[in-house]
Structure 1
Amino acid sequence: MPVPVPVGVLRLPRGPDGCSRGFSPASPRFQALLGGDTAAQGVRAALRQRYLRGLAAARGRPTRFCLRAGVRVDAIFGAADVEAVAFQVDALRTPLGVQAAALLRCADVLAYSFLLD
């Protein structure tokens, strides 16, 4: 029987009062975790859900991306990661040629629209 490998424990730093761990109770992030403004949190959750459902429905659709420096490229939409860092696309048509698959950084994308088939 293999010997279990010990796993380190990550401890949060001590808080400003010296005895608590984690966020300061006065910080906005801590207040958001407590759900201080539940109405705004509910609206944000609904908007996020609509956005993610829209991205899921867009899979496989022709898409035009407007990038920085005025570059426009067309591709087949694949997916977006959870952190909204990158879009995965197929058949990316650029001024230099066609790439079978690519990742477009969200920081470089100014706008995107789905084209009619």
Structure 2
Amino acid sequence: MAVPVPVLRLPRGPDGCSRGFSPSSPRFRALLGGPWGARGVQGVRAALRQRYLWGLAAARGRPTRFCLRAGVGVDAFFGAADVDAVALQVDALRTPLGVQAAALLRCHDVLAYSFLLG
């Protein structure tokens, strides 16, 4: 059985809608002025983005379970994701209504997805 992972939610920002640190806060300035600096943060973000893209490339053709809004679960073979993370292309999408040979799933509708063994 999979172990549940807690989700860390950052407090609301000073504008009321963003999450994270205010650019004027001492913690934010310490992060940018610390040992990483602005270029170090950019390098770390680039490395994380590269790992994410390599993970997507390795997932091509793997059986995947998608949990969608309204509690709907569907199975498909992972195909690809667009650069802006707006849609996921899948093959052999099995829904409660039938099987679609190919489909696009909007990332906005996907709550979670996991790769199945086998």
Q: Normalising to structure 1: TM-score of the pair?
A: 0.68
What is the identity, as a one-letter code, of the residue corresponding to 2:69? R
The corresponding residue for 2:108 is: 107
Question: Aligned partners of 1:37 and 1:110: how far apart in 2?
Answer: 32
The corresponding residue for 1:116 is: 117
Pairs within 5 Å for 1:1-16 = none
The SS at the match of 1:107 is coil
What is the identity, as a one-letter code, of the residue corresponding to 2:58? A
Q: CA deviation at 1:39?
A: 1.3
User: What are the superposed Cα offsets for residues 23-52 of structure 1, whole Å, 9 maximum, x if unpaired?
Assistant: xxxxxxxxxxxxx71111111111100000
The SS at the match of 2:43 is helix
Structure 2: any 5+ residue segments left out of the alignment? 1-36
The corresponding residue for 2:45 is: 44
Percentage of identical aligned residues: 87
User: What are the superposed Cα offsets for residues 69-110 of structure 1, whole Å, 9 maximum, x if unpaired?
Assistant: 111100000000011110000000001110000000001011
Q: CA deviation at 1:60?
A: 0.4
